[in-house]
Amino acid sequence: MSAVIEIQDMTLVLGGRKILDVPTFSLESGESVSLMGPNGAGKSSLLFVMALLQDPTSGKLKYFGKSLEEHPRLELQRRMAMVFQKPMLLDLNVVENVDLGLKFRGINRKERTRRIMDSLEQMEVAHLAHRRARSLSGGEAQRVAIAQALVVDPEIIFLDEPFSNLDKEIREELMIHIDQLLRGKRITTVMVTHHRREADVMTDAVYWMEDGALVSKDIIRREDCTDYPSEGKALK
């Protein structure tokens, strides 16, 4: 496997405060990892840097074996998708929302229609195709937001606490369903979560963060996703 993301000596300073200090990090193609830690540890900040939504203060980032500077930024962003804690849906119907990323990529109408319906069916919301986004329940809206991310066939997907606003039953059902889809498509995944259960079900490893640094790593045993180790292997 080859690394799709590599970070070297990366820092992020905002308002005179060091938010991130990451000497090294890499993510292989098809790998899935979680970022966990207390509030303010830098989890979402690191996710946003990797997703090209926040420029670091210093350091080197590589994507697919090339430095960030070697990639046309827009072309690189088109190979990624992001799902936020709160669904980022416009006041349009479901089909129109899911179609936005495809229009942006210049895909023809016939292909867009096929991919939209495939994605909605995968997320089990095809029956909501013509509903306005504002009329959806929290679980329905998040399913549509994930369909919107998957419809562009991303090579990397970033998930920022995607289930945190859902009740336990819906969260459990949705995370198992999403895990099966992402693994079936072999999409490289980075997820921020506060729930160890989500990390164990959906990812291969958990990085624990404190004060902007990656301090430990747990490799997850997929056959035993209810085993929650309290301490990880320290990063050197």
pLDDT at 220: 85
Residues 6+ apart with CB under 8 A from 227: 200, 221
pLDDT at 165: 83
Nearest 5°: phi and psi at 195? -110, 115
Task: Classify the C-alpha dihedral 120-126-130-133 as positive or negative.
Answer: negative
pLDDT at 236: 44
The domain at 30-54+73-234 falls in which architecture? Answer: 3-Layer(aba) Sandwich (3.40)
pLDDT at 230: 38
Domain spans of the chain? 30-54+73-234
Contact 36, 43 (CB under 8 A): yes
pLDDT at 229: 40
d(CA 59, CA 119): 37
pLDDT at 38: 97
Residues 6+ apart with CB under 8 A from 14: none
Q: For the segment 118-154, what is each residue's pLDDT rounded down to a tens digit?
A: 999 999 999 999 999 999 999 999 999 999 999 999 9
pLDDT at 167: 87
* Strand locations in 64-219 (E): 66-67, 80-83, 156-160, 188-192, 205-210, 213-219
State the 10-residue block means of pLDDT for the chain, 236 residues long.
Answer: 92 97 97 97 98 97 96 94 95 97 93 97 96 95 96 97 89 92 95 95 96 95 49 50
d(CA 36, CA 197): 12
